[in-house]
Amino acid sequence: MIGGELVREARRRAGLTQGELAERAETTQSAIARLESGRTSPSFEQVERLIKLCGFSMIVELATYDDSDLVQAKANLHRGDPAARLEHMANVTNKWRALQREVRGA
Amino acid sequence: MPDFDPAKIMAVLAKHKVQCVYIGGSAAALQGSPIPTEDVDIVPAADKDNWVRLSAALKELDAKVRAVELDEPLPFDHDADSLALSRIWNLTTRFGDLDITQVPAGTQGYDDLKRDALDMEVAGVRICVASLADIVRSKEAAGRDKDRRALPVLRELLAMQLREKTGRPPAGPRPSRKKSD
């Protein structure tokens, strides 16, 4: 997770503009814009401070890294256009439903 | 239960010129998410004309109310005014489930989501899809188990999009053959 994206998420959830957050943080709107877009890399402490200024606290936890969903996501991204991805997802859903019906009927 | 065909739901909404932003699992699937979902989620523009168009589209979709306590989906009579009264409608249609939410968790509704939404063509119709960042924002705020399950891969996809924009290297794990402690 890029820290700037987390700041953007907190700011938008709080309904703040970049200018309003900048005012609270005693910095400039352009500094917030650079940070959110990933053009500058904030420190962990900076991210935590900005998130607090949006009215949130950051809870950090460690979990075992598992890339199985990401591998499938990458396959989806190579699946052509968005319509093909949607069709694939609907097919998966319908196949699971059919399997569930079969199991219930067995 | 009908086969889930989200593209057909989108086609009917587009045919009636319903202004909405697609959000949730189907919107995430359009952007690469591998998490299956069984419904289409929309956030409609909240003006009177749009509610009129949405009501017409729901009639064509033969939309009915779905709820855990109902044995069968409940037919309901609706118009622009009655649709606008409820912040959330959980419906089932001829092509699968459709959820209508005026203000999804963590957002300020249609105008907020429209700002960064993507314009996509799906099965021949133009649709407006919430950005991955906004889908993550909404799921994070909703905090349901199924949302939490989807968040890690959505965040990874979002990070991939940002890396493509900024050219920064991935921040994933670097497996080492040596144990350092």
* Domain ranges across chain B: 6-166
Tell me, yes or no, if B165 comes closer than 8 A to chain A by beta carbon.
yes
Interface predicted TM-score (ipTM) of this complex, two decimals: 0.70
DSSP readout, B53-74? HHHHHHHHTT-EE--TT-SSPE
| CB B145 within 8 Å of CB B37 | no
Query: pLDDT-derived band of residue B171, with 50, 70 and 90 as boundaries?
Result: low
- Which of A7, A11, A12, A20 best tests the B interface by mutation, with the highest count of B CBs <10 A? A12
Take residue B28 and report the two structure tokens written for it: 């995430």
- Of A96 and B50, more confident: B50
Averaged over A27-39, what is the pLDDT?
94
The reported pLDDT for the residue numbered A1 is 53
Closest CA to B173 of A76, A67, A68: A67
Within a 10 A sphere around the Cβ of A41, how many other Cβ atoms? 14
Minimum distance, in Å, between the CA of residue B149 and any CA atom of chain A: 10
- 3 state SS of A29: helix
β-partners of residue B122 are B125
Rounded Cα gap, residues A90 and B7, in angstroms: 9
**Contact present, B76 and B64 (Cβ < 8 Å):** yes
- Please state the rounded mean pLDDT for residues B74-92: 94
Q: What is the CA radius of gyration of chain B?
A: 18
Nearest-Cα distance to chain A for B25, in Å, is 10
Write out chain B residues lying below 8 Å of A9, CB-based. 133, 136-137, 140
Backbone angles phi, psi at B122, to 5 degrees: -130, 120
Residue range B58-67: mean pLDDT, rounded:
94
According to the model, what pLDDT value does residue B143 have? 84
Distance of CA B152 to CAs A6, B39, B81, B146, Å? 13, 20, 39, 12
Contact of B7 with chain A, judged by CB distance below 8 Å, is answered with: yes
Q: Rounded to an integer, what distance in angstroms lies between the CA atom of residue A30 and that of residue A43?
A: 17
**Phi (first) and psi of residue B112, to 5 degrees:** -65, -45
So what's the pLDDT on residue B135?
A: 96
Model confidence at B53: pLDDT above 90: yes
Provide mean pLDDT across the span A47-55.
96
- pTM for this predicted structure: 0.83
Residue B10's contacts (CB-CB under 8 Å, 6 or more residues apart) are B22, B40, B122, B123, B125, B127
Of B99, B83, B101, nearest in space to B91 by CA: B99
Which chain B residues have a beta carbon less than 8 Å from that of A15? 108
How close does chain A come to B166, measured CA to CA in Å? 7
Residues of B in contact with A90 (CB under 8 A): 3-7
Assigned token pair, B175: 């497996």
Cβ atoms of residues B17 and B75 within 8 Å: no
CATH architecture for segment(s) B6-166: 2-Layer Sandwich (3.30)
Q: B4 and A38: CB-CB below 8 Å? A: no
Residue A23: pLDDT over 60: yes
User: Lowest mean pLDDT: which of A71-80, B12-21, B86-95?
Assistant: A71-80
CB B129, CB B120: distance < 8 Å? yes
pLDDT tens digits, A2-18: 799 999 999 999 999 99
Check residue B18 and give its pLDDT. Answer: 98
pLDDT tens profile A81-94: 888 889 888 888 88
pLDDT in tens, B28-48: 999 989 998 889 999 999 999
Q: How far is CA B32 from CA A79, B120, B140, B157, in A?
A: 9, 13, 18, 8
- Rounded CA-CA distance B171/B51 in Å is 45
Give the span between the Cα atoms of B164 and B168, in whole angstroms.
8
Bridge pairing between strands B64-65 and B74-75: antiparallel
- Report the alpha-carbon distance of residue B12 to residue B60 in Å, rounded: 8
Neighbouring C-beta atoms of residue B8, cutoff 10 Å: 19
Chain A residues touching residue B112 (CB < 8 angstroms): 12
Q: How far apart are CA A50 and CA A92, in angstroms?
A: 40
